[in-house]
Amino acid sequence: MNVASVSLDLDNLWAYLKTHGDPEWERMPSFLPTATPRLLEVFAEHGLTTTVFVVGADAVREDGAAAVAAISAAGHEVGNHSFGHEPWLHRYSRAELEAEVVRTEDALVAAGAPRPVGFRGPGYSVTPDLLDVLAERGYRYDASTLPTWIGPLARFYHNRSAPSTEDSAELFGGFAKVFAPNRAYRWDTGLVELPVTTMPLLRVPVHGSYLLQLHQVSPALARGHFRAALRLCRLLGVSPSLLLHPTDVLGAAEAPGMEFFPGMAVPAAQKVGLLGWALGALRRHFEVVGTGEHVARLGADLPVRAARRLERSG
């Protein structure tokens, strides 16, 4: 059976509010005590071992450290998701990028997780300097790319209800990302890149938040979209890597201030049902593992891509 992977970005409530320009983020509100056990329960029901990318600023606080400990105890890989969860890492200097990576490593290890070997940039933000830092620090893989053409549309959706800033003008990248590979490859730094899978050929997202947005329109549409994506992956030999977020199991009352986010009008019970269905569909056709194990099972002859191409891809 072919392999697929599931990963979760454990973005917290404050991080969403911060990116959205809501000053309430400074109080550092958290939904981790609700989201973490619910997600771990869903994974356990399906017998899945996944990868959870954790923000360093959460790992140093009590509820975040407890989440890291619970995730590790359940056998899931813990990855590095930066310290401050700012989706404009392309604006960081090399020294700032190294500080983000190292501070998060220290926080995760202090919370009880092994030293991470996988990284995902918030907002799919990755740069050549970041890849160099990760390679130098012994990381095996990065999972920060989303090969789709809808970045500018996602940015427009975001900015409709958020204050416009210099940083938000570059969120989620440009249309050029449609040409990025949808399969794993190796950067010339030696690091493996495992993209977040988009639907082959059409290059539209299939991650949890996108499915929930479709679910608001029609539950049948969301399920049909996911079935089509899996069918194309099998047909074209793409090993899918599915991305999830805590909001995939939380209702609006459990994430106050996030009415702007896709799928927040869907009740929590329906979200959990959709996630369970999607994981079941994935498991029917693939052996499902975490992203680190997915990378470990890839062959040594992956195509190589120059990291400096990121500077031209927008």
The domains of the chain are located at 3-199+241-247+286-313
Other beta carbons within 10 angstroms of residue 159's beta carbon come to 16
3-state secondary structure of 206: coil
Q: Find the distance separating the first CA and the last CA of the chain, reported in whole Å.
A: 36
pLDDT band at 163 (very low <50, low <70, confident <90, very high): low
- Distance, CA of 143 to CA of 46 (rounded, Å): 23
- Maximum CA pair distance of the chain? 48
pLDDT band at 309 (very low <50, low <70, confident <90, very high): confident
Contacts of 243 (CB under 8 A, 6+ apart): 7, 8, 9, 196, 207, 208
Q: What is the mean pLDDT of residues 59-73?
A: 98
- Distance, CA of 161 to CA of 60 (rounded, Å): 30
Closest CA to 54 of 102, 120, 132: 120
- The pLDDT value recorded for residue 158 is 45
pLDDT band at 160 (very low <50, low <70, confident <90, very high): low
Q: Which residue has the tokens 């975001």?
A: 158
Closest CA to 54 of 18, 91, 74, 84: 84
Q: What is the mean pLDDT of residues 303-308?
A: 91
280, pLDDT greater than 50? yes
Helix axes 32-45 and 62-73, enclosed angle (nearest 10): 10
Measured CA distances, 311 to 40, 90, 172, 304 (Å): 37, 9, 14, 16
203, pLDDT greater than 80? yes
> Structure tokens of 309?
């191409």
- Distance, CA of 91 to CA of 52 (rounded, Å): 25
Q: Which residue has the tokens 């809808």?
A: 150
No. of helices (H) and no. of strands (E), the chain: 12, 10
**For residues 219 and 307, which has the higher predicted lDDT (pLDDT)?**
219
Q: Which CATH number fits domain 3-199+241-247+286-313: 3.40.47.10, 1.10.10.10, 3.20.20.370, 3.40.190.10?
A: 3.20.20.370
Residue length, the chain? 314
> Structure tokens of 116?
């991470």
